């Protein structure tokens, strides 16, 4: 068996192993209801998530699971909202707070579908209380074997953002009324939470990760008449720093404009352009238009990525005074997330740059990125869904992505060692093949 065949078998084996790894488990068990509270400076919002199988049993409805659930929930929305209002209360001993149910949604979890009933507390607080009482016995009154969880989704004072699974307390038939104590507010907990939110947004933001990856792929090369290996680690790193710096400058501008509400763009077109930016950056690797100036692409499309980041911040319900410092923290989190990605992938790319496999591999990866991004663009612009999300998530989902990078780095080291031992490393830009053989 030739060395190239061995490498191919190892690569295919690694790919099949990655594809076989399980996905991220759903936080919904199928046997629990969920009460989410979002705590803002002067208001409280939330949602109640009810397993449809239990809703049907308790209310005598016939709501189907899956895609058909939405229409059935909409048709029975008033019944569901009245039921939720009858079985949920929030307030203090001195003053119960009115709750208004004002929207709905559907969650398709692994263990069944959930009806999501959105609400807001009908009271404007001077400062939202940190201690109050909640009562919930939905489903529990009819099915005592069930339970329900209270989850704080958002609370700047405790540095909690987009929490979907960490419960604060649990309701059961014997303890349907629970005292909620959010603890003292901390400005710095809020800031650190926003920084973490920025890191998390990069971690789960597959489109942003792939855009960075598309731009970094050619950073270890130099284009003359063709792509050639960059002469040194420093020159490759300098190109990466220029790309990342211009991306940072661009998305900071629009993140600030969007986050402060100065400029607002509709999310649909912005998300479509973000998807197209990946495709264009990938195709640029095959047909370079901004020769050795990928930072121009990073800046131009980074402006739209910034508006995409801003959409998340605008949903946090922050006051103007907290919004500015949150922008700084969120942006810092994004930069930390980007830095981690680059630190993980750049060494392997640099190692491989002098092998005969790198440029063809970059072309193949770029075609794959362009196909994935085009699928996203069609979905976001026209609603044409292609089966690309699950495939991508299986590779880049955390913590699987660390395993992917570790495997590829080991393979890169092995390939470089194999090629060097046979004198097949390519000369770097500006170096003749005769001198490399000498």
Give Cα 405 distance to the centre of its chain: 18
- pLDDT surpassing 70 at residue 324: yes
Average pLDDT, the chain: 85
Q: Above pLDDT 70, what percent of the chain?
A: 88
Average pLDDT score over residue span 264-271:
90
Q: 252 lies in a domain?
A: yes
pLDDT, tens digit (0-9, with 9 covering 90-100), for 194-230: 898 888 888 888 888 899 999 999 999 988 888 999 9
Is cis: bond before 399, omega within 30 of 0? Answer: yes
The answer to whether 274 and 305 have CB atoms below 8 angstroms apart is: yes
E strand intervals along 186-259: 221-223, 227-229
| 30 has pLDDT over 70 | no
* Final residue before a domain boundary, out of 149, 165, 184: 184
One domain, residues 144 and 56: yes
- For residue 309, tell me if it sits in a domain: yes
Average pLDDT of the segment spanning 296-323: 81
SS (H, E, C) 48-67: EEEEHHHHHHHHCCCCCCHH
For 78, the enclosing helix (H) or strand (E) is helix 77-86
Q: How far apart are CA 56 and CA 43, in angstroms?
A: 32
Distance CA(114)–CA(94), nearest Å, equals 34
Domain that holds residue 278: 189-432
Q: Minimal CA–CA distance to 80: which of 56, 64, 109, 108?
A: 56
Find the range with the poorest average confidence among 25-39, 52-66, 297-311, 388-402. 388-402
pLDDT at 360: 94
Candidate ranges 17-26, 169-178, 284-293; pick with highest mean pLDDT: 169-178
Which pLDDT belongs to residue 26?
A: 45
Domain shared by 383 and 306, yes or no: yes
Quote the CA–CA distance of 239 and 229 in Å, as a whole number.
13
335 shares its domain with 409:
yes
Residues 165, 197, single domain; the answer is no
Assess whether pLDDT exceeds 90 at residue 391: no
Residues 150 and 200 in one domain: no
> Does a structural domain hold residue 224?
yes
Question: What is the rounded average pLDDT of the residues 268-287?
Answer: 94
Task: Examine the pLDDT at 416 and tell me if it is beyond 60.
Answer: yes
**pLDDT exceeds cutoff 90 at 176:** yes
SS3 call for 66: helix
What pLDDT is stored for residue 319 in this prediction?
Answer: 63
Q: What is the pLDDT of residues 85-123, one digit of tens each?
A: 999 999 998 899 999 999 999 998 878 899 999 999 999
The confidence score (pLDDT) of residue 359 equals 94
The reply to whether 2 falls in a domain is no
Distance from C-alpha of 86 to C-alpha of 83, rounded to nearest angstrom: 5
| Angstrom distance (rounded) from CA 283 to CA 390 | 23
Question: Do 180 and 193 have their domain in common?
Answer: no
Q: Which residue has the higher pLDDT, 17 or 158?
A: 158
Cβ–Cβ under 8 Å, residues 162 and 317: no
Q: What is the pLDDT of residues 40-55, one digit of tens each?
A: 988 999 999 999 999 9
Are 147 and 264 contained in the same domain? no
Strand order in the sheet with 147-155: 99-109, 112-121, 44-51, 32-39, 147-155, 169-171
Among 89-98, 142-151, 288-297, which stretch is predicted with the lowest mean pLDDT? 288-297
CA distance 150 to 133: 12
What is the number of domains present in the chain?
Answer: 2
Q: What is the mean pLDDT of residues 279-299?
A: 90
In a domain, 20, yes or no: no
Q: 198 with 162, same domain?
A: no
Q: What is the pLDDT of residue 14?
A: 40
pLDDT of residue 15: 41
pLDDT at 431: 64
- Give the 3-state secondary structure percentages of the chain, helix then strand then coil, rounded to 5: 55, 15, 25
Alpha-carbon distances, residue 43 vs 87, 125, 250, 320 (angstroms): 21, 6, 33, 15
Same domain, 252 and 370: yes
Of 145, 164, 184, at which residue does a domain stop? 184
In a shared domain, residues 167 and 201:
no
Segment 378-402 shows an average pLDDT of: 76
Backbone angles phi, psi at 128, to 5 degrees: -60, 130
Check if the beta carbon of residue 344 is closer than 8 Å to that of residue 336.
Answer: no
Q: Say what percent of the chain tops pLDDT 90.
A: 48
Tell whether 11 is covered by a domain.
no
Same domain for 135 and 212, yes or no, is no
Task: Transcribe 318-335 into DSSP letters.
Answer: --HHHHHHHHHHHHHHHH
Q: Rounded to an integer, what distance in angstroms lies between the CA atom of residue 49 and that of residue 73?
A: 12
Residue 21 reports pLDDT greater than 70: no
Give 28's pLDDT tier (boundaries 50, 70, 90).
Answer: low
Report residue 61 as tokens: 């409805």
Q: Do the domain assignments include residue 335?
A: yes
Is the same domain home to 201 and 88?
A: no
- Given 168, 184, 200, the domain boundary residue is 184
CA distance 217 to 213: 6
What pLDDT is attached to residue 325?
82
Taking CA 232 as the corner, what is the angle to CA 229 and CA 233, rounded to the nearest 5 degrees? 105
Residue 206 lies in a domain: yes
| Residue 432 near residue 57 (C-beta atoms within 8 A) | no
């Amino acid at each position: 068996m030739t060395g190239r065949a061995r490498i191919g078998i190892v690569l295919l084996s690694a790919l099949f192993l990655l594809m076989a790894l399980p996905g991220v488990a759903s936080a919904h068990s199928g046997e629990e209801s969920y009460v989410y509270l979002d705590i803002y400076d002067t208001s409280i919002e939330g949602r109640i998530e009810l397993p449809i199988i239990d809703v049907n049993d308790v209310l005598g409805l016939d709501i189907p699971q899956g895609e058909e659930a939405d229409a059935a929930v909409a048709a029975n929305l008033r019944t569901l909202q009245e039921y939720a209002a009858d079985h949920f209360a929030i307030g203090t001993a001195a003053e119960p707070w009115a709750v208004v149910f004002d929207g709905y949604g559907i969650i398709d979890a692994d263990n069944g579908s959930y009806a999501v009933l959105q609400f807001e507390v009908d009271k404007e607080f001077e400062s939202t209380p940190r201690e109050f009482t909640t009562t919930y016995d939905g489903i529990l009154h009819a099915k005592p074997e069930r339970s329900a969880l209270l989850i704080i989704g958002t609370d700047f004072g405790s540095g909690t953002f987009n929490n979907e699974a960490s419960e604060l307390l649990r309701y059961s038939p014997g303890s349907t009324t629970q005292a909620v104590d959010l603890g003292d507010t901390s400005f710095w907990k809020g800031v650190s939470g926003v920084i973490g939110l920025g890191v998390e947004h990069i971690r789960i933001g597959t489109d942003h990760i792939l855009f960075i990856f598309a731009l970094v792929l050619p950073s270890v090369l130099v284009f003359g008449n063709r792509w050639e290996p960059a002469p040194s680690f420093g020159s490759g790193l300098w190109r990466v720093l220029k790309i990342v710096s211009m991306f940072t400058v661009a998305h900071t501008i629009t993140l600030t404009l969007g986050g402060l509400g100065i400029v607002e763009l509709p999310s649909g077109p912005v998300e479509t352009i973000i998807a197209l930016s990946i495709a264009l950056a990938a195709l640029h690797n095959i047909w370079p238009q901004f020769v050795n100036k990928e930072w121009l692409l990073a800046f131009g499309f980074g402006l739209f990525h910034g508006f995409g980041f801003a959409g998340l911040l605008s949903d946090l319900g922050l006051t103007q005074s907290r919004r500015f410092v949150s922008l700084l923290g969120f942006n810092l989190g994004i930069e930390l997330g980007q830095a981690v990605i680059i630190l993980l992938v750049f060494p392997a790319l640099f190692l491989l740059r002098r092998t005969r496999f790198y440029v063809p591999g970059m072309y193949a990866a770029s075609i794959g990125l362009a196909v994935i991004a085009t699928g996203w663009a069609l979905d976001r612009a026209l609603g044409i869904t292609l089966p690309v999300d699950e495939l991508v998530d299986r590779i880049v989902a955390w913590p699987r992505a660390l395993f992917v990078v570790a495997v590829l780095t080991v393979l890169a080291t092995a390939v470089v060692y194999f090629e060097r031992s046979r004198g097949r490393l390519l000369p770097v830009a500006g170096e003749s093949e005769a001198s490399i053989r000498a």
